[in-house]
A and B are shown apart, each in its own frame.
Chain A
Amino acid sequence: MTDIDKPATAAVGEVAAAGSPAPTAFLEVRDLRVHFPTDDGLVKSVDGLSFRLEKGKTLGIVGESGSGKSVTSLGIMGLHTAGQYGRRKARISGEIWLNGQELLGADPDEVRKLRGREMSMIFQDPLSALHPYYTIGRQITEAYQVHHEVAKEVARKRAVEMLDRVGIPQPDKRVDSYPHEFSGGMRQRAMIAMSLVNNPELLIADEPTTALDVTVQAQILDLIRDLQKEFGSAVIVITHDLGVVAELADDLLVMYAGRCVERGPAEKVFYEPQHPYTWGLLGSMPRIDRDQTDRLIPVKGSPPSLINVPSGCAFHPRCPYADVPEGGITRTERPELRGVPGADGHFSACHMAQEDRTRIWTEEIAPKL
C-alpha cells in the first residue's frame, strides 16, 4: 500500500500515517493502540490515537474515566506493561516519536534511560505516588542520580534547589521529611520537583490536581505553567476537568472510548466545539458565572465497555443527535476525524453535517451554557 493512495489527513488529521518518515514535531503519536487481553475479551483502551505536540506548548487530553487518557500517557512513557507479571501483557502498536526517536520499536533499556530524563510524569495522588518509607529528599536525589553520576551532596543540593523552586518553604529542612509529614499540596509540589529535577523536555501530568483541595489546585496549575515557561518543555495535561485545561492548554484533545473525537486549538474547542460529546463535557462543567437556578447538563448514560465498543460512532448510544444524520449511519459507520472547514488545525469525528452542527451549537447548546 502506498501513502499516495491514502490521504494522510483523512484518518488521523494533520498527523502523518504510521510508517511515514520521521516527523519534525517534538512529539508525534501515530495511530497508537494499547489493548489489554482479559478473561472477558480484549480491552481496547486506546484504539488509533494520533496527535503532535511542539516544545513549549501544552496539550490537554480530556475525557471521562476509562476513555484511555491515562493509558495513552503510560504508553508514551513505556509503562503500560509495568506491574504486569503474568503471561498476558498489554499489546501496543503504532508509533511514538520523541525528538526524532521512535520509542515503541526502541530497546526498552534505551527508553528507560529517557524516562525521568527526557520525559517525566506527575501522578494523580501524590500520597500514593511517593514511597512512604523514604524521605522526599532521598526520592528526589534518586531520580537525579539515575541519570547523573554525581556525589550524594551534589544531588542533595539539587533536591533542595528544586524544592525551593516549586515553592516549598525551608527546603533545606523539608528535604529530610517523609511524605506523610507533608500536606497534599506540598506533596504534589515535591512530586513536581522530582519530575523536573532532570529538566525533562516532555512533562506528562496525569490528573495533577484531582486529589487536591480546590484552593490548592489553582496554585499547582500556576506552578506547572510557570515552570513550563521557565524550562520550555512540552506538557501534556490529562484531566476530566475542562476547567483545569482551560487555563493551561494551547491545544485540546477530547477522547472517547479510546479514540479522539475532537482536537484543535483550545479556544476553538472551547468556543466552537464540534462534537456532541464535547458539548456534553462543557454542559456538565460547573461555572461560577452561570445562573444558580440552572442545572448542570450531564452526559446521559455511562461510558461504554471497551471490550464491546458500540458499532459505528462509539458515542451514538448516548448522543442526543444520533438520528440527525440520515440513514442510521451513526450506528453502522465509524466517523473519521475530519478538518473543520475554515478552522485551521481543528478536527472532529462526527457524522453530522457542518450546518447541522453549527446550528445545534449556536441555537440549542450555547445559550444554555
Chain B
Amino acid sequence: MMLLVVTLTTFAIFFVIPKWAGSDPALLFVGKQADPAAIEGIRTKLGLSDPLLLQFWHFVEGLFVGRDYANGSDVTHCPQPCFGYSFRTEQAVWPQLTDAMPVTLSLAAGACVLWLVGGIATGVVSALRRGTLWDRSAMTAALAGVSLPIYFTGLLSLAIFSYQLKWVDVDYKGLGDDPAKWFESLILPWITLAFLYAAMYARLTRATMLEIMGEDYIRTARAKGLRERTVIGRHAMRSTWTPILTLLGLDLGALLGGAVLTESTYNLPGLGRLAVNAISDKDLPLILGVTLIAALCIVVANLVVDLLYAVIDPRVRLG
C-alpha cells in the first residue's frame, strides 16, 4: 500500500513535472538534431502520447509482467521487472540497477554496523565517565563528525590513506569476485560514512544512557545486589535501544543521501553514483528506477524497524 503511494508520487514527480516544465522525453531520447518523424516515432513507441493514467498503468504493468514498446512493426520487448530504457545509453534500466545495488548495500550495511558499534560504545563509555577527559574528547570528536561534510572527510582520508600512505586501494571489486579486495576498497568509504552517523549515535546514546541511569528501575536493579556491569549491560542498555532504533529507522531512509556523496567521492559504482549521473543526464527512466528502489529500501527498512520495536518493547506488542 505504502509502496503504491510512493510509486504514484515518484511517477508524478518524474513523469509529469518534466512535461509541465516543457522538456519533452522523446526529444531527450532521440537527441536534439533528430528529425520530427523520428521524434514522433519514438513518442508512439514509448507511449508518450497516451493519457497520463494509461502511461502510469503501462509503467506499473511493466514492473510486474513486462511490456512491449511498439511502433507499428518496430517492437521492443522489455521483460519484467521493466523500468524502461535509459534515454542516454538505450540500455535497459533494471540490469543497471541490479549491478549498482550490491555496491550500495555493501556500503550501507558495512557503514551501518560500524557506526552502530562505534557510536553506541563511545556513547556508553562517555556516559559512564561523564565529565572526564575521555568524555570531552569523544564528544568533541562527535561534534566534528556531525559538522564535517562527507566530501571533506572523504577526500581527506582518500588523500592521506590511499594516495599518500598507499595503505588501501579504493578500486571497487565485487564481494563475489575478490572478498579481500572488496573489503579493502570499501574500508575507507565505510569509515567516512560511518563517522558522520557514529557521531550522532554517540551523542544520542550518551544522552539516553545518562537519563536512564537515573531511572528508578536502575536503582532497583542495584538494590537487588546486581553487579554494576549487569546493571548497565542488561538493564540500562535494554532501554537505550529504543531511541537508537527510532533514529536508525529515520537514518536508513536518509542513508541514500550519504551514499550519493560517498559513492561520488570514492567513485563506487553504486546507486548513488547512478542517481547522480542519471540526474545530470536528465535520464528520466533511470532516475525513476533509482528512486523507486530507494523508496522500496526505505519502506522495507522501516518495516524491519517497526518489527524490531515490538521485539524490544513489550508494551508495543499489545498496542
Contacts and interface: CB of A to CB of B under 8 A. Distances in A.
Interface of A: 77, 79, 82-83, 85-87, 112-117, 120-121, 123, 125, 128-135, 142-143, 146-147, 178, 180, 191, 194-195
Contact of B312 (A133, A146, A147, A191): A133
Given A85-B213, A131-B238, A116 B219 contact: no
B223 A146 contact: no
Contacts of A87: 131-132
B226 interface: yes
Given A85-B210, A87-B131, A180-B315, A130 B224 contact: no
B313 A146 contact: no
A85 B219 contact: no
B222 A129 contact: no
A142 B216 contact: no
- Among the interface residues B210, B221, B223, B312, which one has the most CB atoms of the partner chain A within 10 A? B223
A79 B214 CA distance: 12
Contact of B219 (A79, A135, A178, A191): A79
Given A79-B219, A129-B219, A130-B217, A86 B225 contact: no
Overall SS of chain B's interface: helix
A20 to B, nearest CB: 29
A112 B219 contact: no
A120 B223 contact: yes
Contacts of B132: 87
B131 A129 contact: no
Contact of A116 (B213, B223, B235): B223
Contacts of A77: 223
A133 B215 CA distance: 13
B130 A79 contact: no
B140 interface: no
B219 A123 contact: yes
- Among the interface residues A79, A112, A131, which one has the most CB atoms of the partner chain B within 10 A? A131
A115 B131 contact: no
B222 A123 contact: no
Contact of A85 (B130, B217, B224): B130
A131 B315 CA distance: 12
B104 to A, nearest CB: 34
B124 to A, nearest CB: 11
- Among the interface residues A112, A133, A134, A147, which one has the most CB atoms of the partner chain B within 10 A? A133
Interface in B295-316: 312-315
Contacts of A121: 223
